[in-house]
Each structure stands twice: as C-alpha cells, then as structure tokens.
Amino acid sequence: MAMMQSLNITGSALTAERFRMDIILQNLANISTTRTASGEPYRRKQVIFEERGLDFKSALADENYKLKNGGVRAAQVVESDRDFTPVYDPDNPEANEEGYVMYPNVNRTEEQIDLMAATRAYEANLTALATIKATINKALEMGK
C-alpha cells in the first residue's frame, strides 16, 4: 500500500513540475509581446503549488484517509504585479506619446534559472520513481 502511495506522490510531483515548466516556457515565448487581448503587455505568470489531499468530507468517510493523502498539485497560476519594462522606440507603432514601448515584466535570466530549478526537481522525482520501481521489483523477486 505504501508503495502505491509513493508512486502517487512522485507522479503528482512530476505532473506539477511539468506544468511549471510549461508556464515558464510560455513566459519566455511571450518575452516580446507588447499587446495581449487585454490591451497591455504580457504579464509574467508563476505557478503556486500546494499539498494534494482529500477534502474534509472524504476524510471523514474514509478511516484510512492518511494513506491516500500526499503529493503536490499546481493550485493556481498567478500573474506578476511588477511594472512593465519601458523601452525607448519612437518608431514603434506601440509607442506612447513619449516614445516608450512597454514590454512584458519577464526577465529572461530569471526564467532560465526557474526553468533549471524545475528541470532539476523533475529529474529528482524521476530518480525517486526509479528507486521506487527498483524496490517494488526487489520485493517481487523476494516473493518468488
């Protein structure tokens, strides 16, 4: 039973980190987007993780709820409230009266560092998954 819980926890972490990487790549892809559907530049997005668990009603109905609790999930995607980056380009059609174009609040270096951290977390979870798999295989071999 604990092995299955370990697989569920590791699987949820892999899914969450993959989603985080997708959002980071979306930020990098829109680093030059000066106008979105809302009329303003693209805003940097970040993923907020939270512990995955049962709701209160399910926990009361199941006496073994602690065995099923665990893991992580992407709870929400929030937009950064940092100011946009003004760039002087009076020939750009998006320029304001002073000649500045507002660019997204996405910092390429920050995104690359976040992407490296998400990749390392993903790889760590793959290693944990491989360890769990090897443990299950050893247990099955001992049962022969």
pLDDT at 54 (0 to 100):
58
Query: What mean pLDDT is predicted for residues 3-18?
Result: 88
pLDDT at 77 (0 to 100):
96
| CA–CA dist 144, 141 (Å, integer) | 5
Q: What does the pLDDT look like over 37-89, one tens digit per residue?
A: 998 999 999 999 998 765 666 666 665 555 556 788 899 999 999 999 999 99
pLDDT at 130 (0 to 100):
94
pLDDT at 86 (0 to 100):
94
pLDDT at 57 (0 to 100):
65
Phi-psi region of 19 (alpha: psi -120 to 50; beta: other; left: phi over 0): alpha
Query: What mean pLDDT is predicted for residues 117-126?
Result: 96
| CA–CA dist 54, 108 (Å, integer) | 37
Please state the pTM of the whole predicted model: 0.82
- Comparing 81 with 144, the larger pLDDT belongs to 81
Q: What does the pLDDT look like over 91-111, one tens digit per residue?
A: 999 999 999 999 999 999 999
pLDDT at 66 (0 to 100):
53
| Residue 8 confidence class, pLDDT cut points 50, 70, 90 | confident
Q: How many alpha carbons lie under 13 Å from residue 20 in its C-beta half-sphere?
A: 26
| CA–CA dist 120, 118 (Å, integer) | 5
Query: What mean pLDDT is predicted for residues 117-121?
Result: 97
